[in-house]
Homo-oligomer: A and B are copies of this chain.
Amino acid sequence: MTVCSGFIKISTNGLNDIHNITTEVSRFVKKNKLVEGQLLIAINGSTAALSTIEYEPGLIRDLPAMLDKIAPMNKTYHHDETWHDGNGYAHLRSTLMGTSYMVPVINGELVLGTWQQIIFIDFDNRSRHREITLQFVGETNE
């Protein structure tokens, strides 16, 4: 049993920029010869989220549209009274969706559906450089 941590660096455009990070996460699994255990994917920050989706152009438009009904971008939030930075919607979306995600690893593979990809969403209202943490606890072939 071992714990194995790593990072993915990513540059985003913000404004609900959705990145498919499945390939990078799979590379982490292969490179570290992970066999069976729990993989935690986490973003440090309060204006982004992690989840899974069928990564295709339609849903990539539908997801921000759905979130805009819940926490509209063009609304003034009390958050602006504190910081005047206009990204209250981004904080609320992050809190609702969550900044960490768990995926099981079995037989050296991520347990995901064929049409299920791991996504990082940057809600912030400006471009950002982000660091995503990958952390595995379980059995490896090292």
- B-contacting residues, A66-123, CB 8 Å: 66, 69-71, 77-83, 88, 91-92, 94-104, 106, 111-113, 115-116, 119
Q: How many residues of A contact B (CB 8 A)?
A: 60
Residue pair A46, B37 in contact (C-beta under 8 Å): no
Instruction: State the main secondary structure of chain A at its contact with B.
Output: mixed
Given contacts A78-B58, A113-B44, contact A104 B37 (CB under 8 A): no
Q: How many identical subunits does the complex contain?
A: 3
Shortest Cβ distance from A135 into B: residue: B104
Q: Check if A14 is an interface residue, CB within 8 A of chain B.
A: no
Contact with B along A1-20 (1 / 0, CB 8 A): 11101000000000000000
Interface contact A77-B58, CB-CB below 8 Å: yes
Decide: A113 near B45, CB < 8 A? Known: A1-B3, A38-B137: yes
